[in-house]
Amino acid sequence: MTKPIIQFKHVQKRFGDNIIIPDLNFTVNQGEFVTILGSSGSGKTTTLKMINGLWQPSAGEILIDGQQISKLDQVKLRRHMGYVVQQIGLFPHMTIAENIAVVPKMLQWSHSKIDRRVKELLELVRLEPGVYANRYPQQLSGGQQQRVGVARALATNPPYVLFDEPFGALDALTRSELQQEIKRIHESLADKTFMFVTHDINEALFLGQRVMVMHKGQIVQFASPEVLVRHPATPFVEELLGTVQQNENLWRHQHD
């Protein structure tokens, strides 16, 4: 059965006089993998930041698991949401194991519980614990550091994980590997809700069970990849999909 887990009801966000998001309405169900796709400045990051309570909406309401976000304890809320960003933000003076263990330590988990969890997470993101646990971030490649970022976000087993362009700075091959990993991880963890911001349409279509297309602070289409490709709702979506086709044509042409 589908259970609404993140709901936006007439959400507006303004910075000063600037209305960035005029009236946002959507529902994400428990266990879904939703990608948010849109041009630069369309409000993707702002939407994610309102989900984890980093920013408050200027009007309207956001419900997390049926409860108004404004009434929830903000620290607890953030601990229930993993957050993975492009600038991973690993602490350079801490080992990989220590980086993953930051929040569990704050929550005063026992040493043995932390050790077990770190090992489990490193295995989940396919970094051999014996090799990587005691290394420092600068001894890892960009892709490996992103894997640590994912492990850290999952450390306390949060029901929601938010991703903000996590693979934006990686080369195409590493990016594609990590996309497959993140899809596998979502499938292997029952009932986790993933929301993933990207401006790469291929990434959005590959990862998302549904894709939310944003333009100028509004949702122009929120549908499965199949529906999006077959029935683009607006000329903007058509244009986005057209860029994929153009790239393919270019690639084919070059290899003819």
Ligand X SMILES: Nc1ncnc2c1ncn2[C@@H]1O[C@H](COP(=O)(O)OP(=O)(O)OP(=O)(O)O)[C@@H](O)[C@H]1O
Give the contacts of 86 (CB within 8 A, at least 6 positions apart): 164, 165, 166, 167, 168, 169
The nearer residue to ligand X, 38 or 232, going by C-beta atoms, is 38
Q: Which among 220, 205, 234 has a CA at the least distance from the CA of 44?
A: 220
Least Å distance, CB 11 to ligand X, is 13
The nearer residue to ligand X, 46 or 145, going by C-beta atoms, is 46
Q: What are the backbone angles phi and psi of residue 89, rounded to the nearest 5°?
A: 70, 35
Q: Which among 214, 219, 240 has a CA at the least distance from the CA of 229?
A: 240
Question: How far apart are alpha carbons 135 and 98 in whole angstroms?
Answer: 10
Least Å distance, CB 193 to ligand X, is 19
Least Å distance, CB 16 to ligand X, is 7
Least Å distance, CB 252 to ligand X, is 29
Cβ-contact 228, 211 below 8 angstroms: yes
Residue in the structure block whose two tokens are 């409860």: 67
The nearer residue to ligand X, 168 or 225, going by C-beta atoms, is 168
The nearer residue to ligand X, 42 or 52, going by C-beta atoms, is 42
The nearer residue to ligand X, 85 or 155, going by C-beta atoms, is 85
Q: Give the footprint of ligand X on this chain (CB under 6 A).
A: 15, 20, 38, 40-46, 199
The nearer residue to ligand X, 32 or 164, going by C-beta atoms, is 164
Residue in the structure block whose two tokens are 């990993």: 181
Tokens representing residue 168 in the block: 């934006």
Least Å distance, CB 43 to ligand X, is 4
Give the contacts of 71 (CB within 8 A, at least 6 positions apart): none
Give the contacts of 250 (CB within 8 A, at least 6 positions apart): none
